[in-house]
């Protein structure tokens, strides 16, 4: 499986920390699982509905996957579908676009 970009959904507070620190080490669920959870464009709405229902002011960061090489692993998650998982920190320069979802 390969794609050039994937998406990370962040709360407004997580995005503010990411901007300040210039690196994202993961949300609590990412830290617990040992990797940063990402979603493809096709998976994004399902991720938001399942994990961010009822939350506002979400930041959707589009991440350039090319620079991560083997640190990106496509692994089974919801319903056996392959999701991109980042086994590294996410530097801010890897974010190529940002959308706010209110």
Q: Per-residue pLDDT tens for 10-41?
A: 999 999 999 999 999 999 999 999 999 999 99
> Are the C-beta atoms of residues 99 and 59 closer than 8 Å to each other?
yes
- Rounded to whole angstroms, how far apart are CA atoms 39 and 60? 10
β-partners of residue 23 are 91
- Rounded to whole angstroms, how far apart are CA atoms 84 and 72? 6
- Rounded to whole angstroms, how far apart are CA atoms 1 and 49? 24
pTM to 2 decimal places: 0.93
Domains and CATH numbers, the chain: 5-101 (3.20.170.20)
- Rounded to whole angstroms, how far apart are CA atoms 85 and 16? 22
Give the tens place of pLDDT for each residue, 45-94. 999 999 999 999 999 999 999 999 999 999 998 788 999 999 999 999 99
Q: How many residues are given for the chain?
A: 102
């Amino acid at each position: 499986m390969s794609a050039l970009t994937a998406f990370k959904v962040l709360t407004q507070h997580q995005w503010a920390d990411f901007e300040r620190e210039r690196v994202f080490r993961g949300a609590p669920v990412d830290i617990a699982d040992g990797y940063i959870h990402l979603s493809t464009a096709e998976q994004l709405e399902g991720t938001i509905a399942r994990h961010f229902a009822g939350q506002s002011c979400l930041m959707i960061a589009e991440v350039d996957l090319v620079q991560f090489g083997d640190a990106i692993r496509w692994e089974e998650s919801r319903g056996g579908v392959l999701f991109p998982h980042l086994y590294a920190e996410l530097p801010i320069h890897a974010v190529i676009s940002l959308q706010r979802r209110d």
